[in-house]
Amino acid sequence: MAVPFDWLISGALVIDGTDRPGVHTDVGVRAGRIEAIGDLSGASATRRLEGTGRVLAPGFIDAHTHDDTVVIRAPDMIAKVSQGVTTVIVGNCGISASPVRLTGAPPDPMNLLGDASAFAYPDFASYRRAVDQARPAVNVAALVGHTALRSNHLSDLYRSASAEEITAMRAELRQSLADGALGLSTGLAYATAFAAETDEVKALAAELEAVGGLYATHLRSEFEPVLEAMDEAFDIGRSARAPVIISHLKCAGAGNWGRAGQLLAALEQAAHGHPVGCDCYPYSASSSTLDLKQVTGEYRITITWSTPHPHMGGRDLADIASEWGISQQEAARRLQPAGAIYYGMDENDVQRILAHPLSMVGSDGLPEDPHPHPRLWGAFARVLGHYSRDLALFPLHTAVHKMTGLTAARFGLVDRGRIALGQAADLVLFDPRRIHDVATFLDPCRPAEGIDAVWVNGALAYRPAQPPASSRHGRFLPRAGDLRTTFNSQPNGDLPL
């Protein structure tokens, strides 16, 4: 007598994450794994869900998040599971919750992760333990941030590191990699890392070579010198034999619009000799801390939070400046420390980058922001609904691949990102006709519509209009091996084609 499945999802269009079209079939889950795919009409199961008219896909992997501390502070992770996300990659843009030992307030942009009380993880192992203890609704894998390392070892972040400081940062990165970190991230555009010369980053990245870790970078510039910044990233990656992920690839600033083709050509060129890729989010506005360099008057800027002027959250910088009778630069200075949304991209560039085969989807959402960019709640549903279905920018199975199989390969999550026998049962069931993002710039904290059910490690994690699941099943995912061997791999699925 066969042991019943824990879950049997029948009749859905199964899109397996490998960039192939879907097949109508059944999927059986047992003990957290996908155990059967095919006609399971005679099988017994403890719980069943009828999936006719729906798509069953691997749970989405958010390639680029700043969820480091929220997965512990608010482990329900509704913003993410409600759009089908089952795994988040944290530690991006040079900022990570660990290893960090602050002596005061977190420096910009580490303050995107919370105030000083959020940084309670002096080493990577303690962060990993805290995630497992919090047992968030989603799985978590983590990079180590260059700016975080700098904050531990440099008394002044506005200069380059000394040889001794580099040695100390390397030792800390080495230990973090041994404890399961995926690799190193940088945020070289930010003033707190900008003074780091290429050689400083290369010296740290050298630690990646022995373990096969990867290098992810928020480029030194996303404005006019973006190609030079990409060259620097590839140079650093090649020197460490480390795969390179360009974070939130974009053409920022009006003078830069229309250059997506050049950037993608550079990415393709680099991809010939080295494993490289990028992540991107499906919006033509960016968001981060308020940066005076980006206050140019060329495009609209909305303030999302301000420590000295909290009531200005949600208002346009231009309106605040005119109310105060001062320039936007001066108003921005008075509002700092603050967060902002910059409407500084061209939609055609966004679409070209999103559609490119080397790009994967990452929300870059900011969960600590009181008035966040809508990407936090909407990015994945927006790619599936707005860009794939409504604009036909790419087929649905390609949209799914960019948030599942491709991303799993990049980060070496070898048993996730596909619907195949033996894979972890991270799954999302959605209605392809209804799926869409509801979150807007005016009303950003609204769950996506069209998601029917989400499973994490074989357990139900989300159903719409129901209270958060009573138990959570995410776990910390340590680096599983040499990412150079998985980065460009395209494993097959087990669909009965």
Minimum distance from residue 44 beta carbon to Zn ion (Å): 48
How long, in residues, is the chain? 497
Span near Zn ion by CB under 5 A; candidates 93-101, 193-201, 304-312, 368-376: 93-101
Span near Zn ion by CB under 5 A; candidates 87-95, 169-177, 191-199, 223-231: 87-95
Minimum distance from residue 95 beta carbon to Zn ion (Å): 8
Q: Report the residue number, 30 or 218, with the smaller CB distance to Zn ion.
A: 218
Q: Report the residue number, 218 or 220, with the smaller CB distance to Zn ion.
A: 218
- Cα dihedral: 411, 413, 418, 422 (round 10): 170
The contact mask relative to Zn ion for 208-227 (x = CB under 5 A, - = no) is ----------x---------
Q: Which residues of 480-497 are buried (b: 16+ CB within 10 A; e: fewer)?
A: beebbebbeeeeebbbee
Q: Report the residue number, 249 or 317, with the smaller CB distance to Zn ion.
A: 249
Span near Zn ion by CB under 5 A; candidates 85-93, 398-406, 426-434, 481-489: 85-93
Q: Quick count: other Cβ atoms within 10 Å of Cβ 162?
A: 12
Span near Zn ion by CB under 5 A; candidates 17-25, 89-97, 232-240, 253-261: 89-97
Question: What is the tally of helices (H) and strands (E) in the chain?
Answer: 16, 20
Span near Zn ion by CB under 5 A; candidates 68-76, 91-99, 342-350, 406-414: 91-99
DSSP codes joined into one string, 142-204: E-EEHHHHHHHH-S-TTSPPPHHHHHHHHHHHHHHHHTT--EEEEETTSHHHHTS-HHHHHHH
Span near Zn ion by CB under 5 A; candidates 88-96, 147-155, 271-279, 441-449: 88-96
Contact criterion met (CB below 8 Å) for 436 and 451:
no
Residues 176-215 binding Zn ion (CB under 5 A) are: none
CB-hemisphere CA count at 13 Å for 302?
17
Q: Report the residue number, 218 or 371, with the smaller CB distance to Zn ion.
A: 218
93 binds Zn ion (CB under 5 A): yes
Cis ω for the linkage preceding 99 (within 30 of 0): yes
Q: Report the residue number, 82 or 286, with the smaller CB distance to Zn ion.
A: 286
Minimum distance from residue 93 beta carbon to Zn ion (Å): 3
Minimum distance from residue 185 beta carbon to Zn ion (Å): 9
- Cα dihedral: 96, 101, 105, 110 (round 10): -10
Residue of 289, 265, 393 whose CA lies nearest to 339: 289
DSSP code at position 384: I
**CA of 46: how far to CAs of 8, 183, 314, 461, 478, in Å?**
8, 40, 47, 17, 31
Residues 468-487 binding Zn ion (CB under 5 A) are: none
Q: Distance between CA atoms of 62 and 403, rounded to whole angstroms? A: 7
Q: Report the residue number, 65 or 423, with the smaller CB distance to Zn ion.
A: 65
Minimum distance from residue 248 beta carbon to Zn ion (Å): 6
Minimum distance from residue 36 beta carbon to Zn ion (Å): 41
Residues 433-472 binding Zn ion (CB under 5 A) are: none
Q: Distance between CA atoms of 21 and 14, rounded to whole angstroms? A: 9
Minimum distance from residue 76 beta carbon to Zn ion (Å): 25
The amino acid at 99: P
Minimum distance from residue 109 beta carbon to Zn ion (Å): 8
Span near Zn ion by CB under 5 A; candidates 92-100, 164-172, 327-335, 336-344: 92-100
**CA of 376: how far to CAs of 53, 329, 349, in Å?**
27, 27, 21
Contact criterion met (CB below 8 Å) for 162 and 196:
no
Minimum distance from residue 31 beta carbon to Zn ion (Å): 38
Q: Report the residue number, 93 or 384, with the smaller CB distance to Zn ion.
A: 93
Q: Report the residue number, 20 or 218, with the smaller CB distance to Zn ion.
A: 218
Contact criterion met (CB below 8 Å) for 297 and 291:
no
Q: Report the residue number, 94 or 417, with the smaller CB distance to Zn ion.
A: 94
Minimum distance from residue 83 beta carbon to Zn ion (Å): 20
Q: Report the residue number, 75 or 109, with the smaller CB distance to Zn ion.
A: 109
Q: Distance between CA atoms of 248 and 270, rounded to whole angstroms? A: 17
**Quick check: helix, strand or coil at residue 336?**
coil
- Size of site (CB under 5 A) for Zn ion: 2
Minimum distance from residue 218 beta carbon to Zn ion (Å): 3
Q: Report the residue number, 218 or 352, with the smaller CB distance to Zn ion.
A: 218
Residues that bind Zn ion (CB under 5 A): 93, 218
